[in-house]
């Protein structure tokens, strides 16, 4: 079996790189840091029509069978299933409920709200200076009326949950932790108010101390300063 990961630095694809390290798999890492609109897709040989990051290709039977899979959660689920690791096999009934809820919460609730933060920040940055106050007022209103309160509520709930759980599902590290890491880090890096959430801070230190995580940061050319700068601008 040969695995190829199409990766973009400081993006959500870092989580799949981390997963591959956790599973101790051999893989080929393909960096695709330029936006597809800036170059010919054939140049980077991206296998997905939408040029998604991450995308994995899994070659089986000496390369005669190729599986192409995009979407972070789908890739994480499939690899966890394929190699029988970091899933629900060793979890209790209650932990399985937590596993499915928080795994989907990360992708379906927390990340979309973070994406809205970036969308409004981008609209402001791209609005001509003479009328930028209009987009700034729009962003201010949406932040104050919905996003800031909602994201604060999300993190308060996560912090309370982690008060009684070592990992997000319970006592074992799973792909639910791996998926939650990115949006949780983005929130805490961007907004100093979240630094007071001690259980989240403990949790992040714990999962980021894993050897596979540290190895993935190096291989993925992760830049903590770039990541923090990108997300802090959204606030």
Distance between start and end Cα atoms, the chain = 43
Give all domains of the chain, ordered by start, each with its CATH number: 2-83 (3.40.30.10), 93-232 (1.20.1050.10)
C-alpha to C-alpha distance for 199 and 103, rounded to whole angstroms = 18
The values of phi and psi at residue 222, to 5°, are -70, 140
- Using CA atoms, how far residue 128 sits from 18, 68, 137, 139, in Å, is 40, 41, 14, 15
Per-residue pLDDT of the chain (235 residues), as tens digits, is: 899 999 999 999 999 999 999 999 999 999 987 544 444 444 456 666 555 789 999 998 877 789 999 999 999 999 999 999 999 999 999 999 999 999 999 999 999 999 999 999 999 999 999 999 999 999 999 999 999 999 999 999 999 999 999 999 999 999 999 999 999 999 999 898 898 999 999 999 999 999 999 999 999 999 999 999 999 988 8
C-alpha to C-alpha distance for 182 and 197, rounded to whole angstroms = 16
Report if pTM > 0.85: yes
């Amino acid at each position: 079996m040969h695995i190829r990961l199409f990766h973009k630095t400081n993006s959500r694809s870092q989580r799949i790189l981390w997963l591959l390290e956790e599973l101790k798999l051999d893989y080929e890492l393909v960096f695709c840091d330029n936006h597809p609109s800036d170059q010919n897709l054939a140049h980077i040989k991206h296998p997905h029509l939408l040029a998604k990051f991450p995308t994995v290709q899994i070659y089986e039977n000496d390369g005669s069978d190729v599986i192409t899979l995009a979407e972070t959660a789908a890739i994480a689920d499939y690899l966890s299933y394929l190699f029988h690791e970091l899933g629900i096999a060793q979890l209790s009934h209650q932990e399985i409920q937590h596993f499915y809820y928080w795994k989907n919460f990360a992708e379906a609730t927390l990340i979309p709200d973070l994406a809205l933060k970036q969308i409004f920040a981008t609209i402001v940055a791209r609005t001509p200076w003479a009328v930028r106050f209009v987009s700034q007022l729009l962003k201010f209103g949406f932040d104050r009326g919905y996003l800031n309160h909602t994201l604060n509520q999300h993190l308060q709930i996560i912090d309370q949950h982690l008060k009684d759980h070592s990992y997000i599902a319970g006592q074992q590290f799973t792909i639910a932790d791996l998926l939650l890491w990115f949006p949780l880090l983005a929130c805490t890096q961007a907004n100093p108010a979240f630094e007071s959430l001690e259980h989240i801070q403990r949790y992040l230190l714990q999962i980021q101390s894993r050897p596979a995580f540290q190895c993935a940061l190096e291989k993925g050319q992760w830049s903590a300063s770039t990541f923090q700068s990108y997300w802090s601008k959204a606030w």
